[in-house]
Amino acid sequence: MSTAHQEDLSSYVLRRMKEGGFDFSRIHPIEFYAIFPDEERARRAAGKFCGESLNAQINVRDDGAWNLELSKVMYATYGGIGDFEQDFEAVVVPLGGIIEGWGVKQEVRGLLN
């Protein structure tokens, strides 16, 4: 995916989050996704990201490829997400992986009251 396209997509997603009332003043786990052809490469990529604000999950897909979901606790800012996407891509692509984007789960308040 081209950097310009990814920047446009990130701008769109962040704008939609703002419209939905997302709390940008707090840190959140931001998930970054990639697909690998095998488990070994997915684990090698996950191993490059260690730290107390990071969490990696790897699982096999129905088609035999492997998903990597890497969560980074951070502020949801355009610059912060873009910077981490570049670091993520620099690890994923040389290992034969494909970047699948990013996302964040938003808390919905008041639905269970």
CATH code for 3-104? 3.30.70.970
Instruction: Give 67's contacts (C-beta < 8 A, 6+ positions apart).
Output: 33, 34, 35, 36, 42, 57, 58, 59, 60, 61
CB atoms within 10 A of CB 68: 26
Over residues 80-110, the pLDDT tens digits come to 999 999 999 999 999 999 999 999 976 655 5
Give residue limits of the domains in the chain.
3-104
Report the C-alpha gap between 19 and 6 in whole angstroms: 20
Tens digits of residue pLDDT in 50-68? 886 789 999 999 999 999 9
pTM above 0.85, yes or no: no
* C-alpha to C-alpha distance for 39 and 10, rounded to whole angstroms: 28
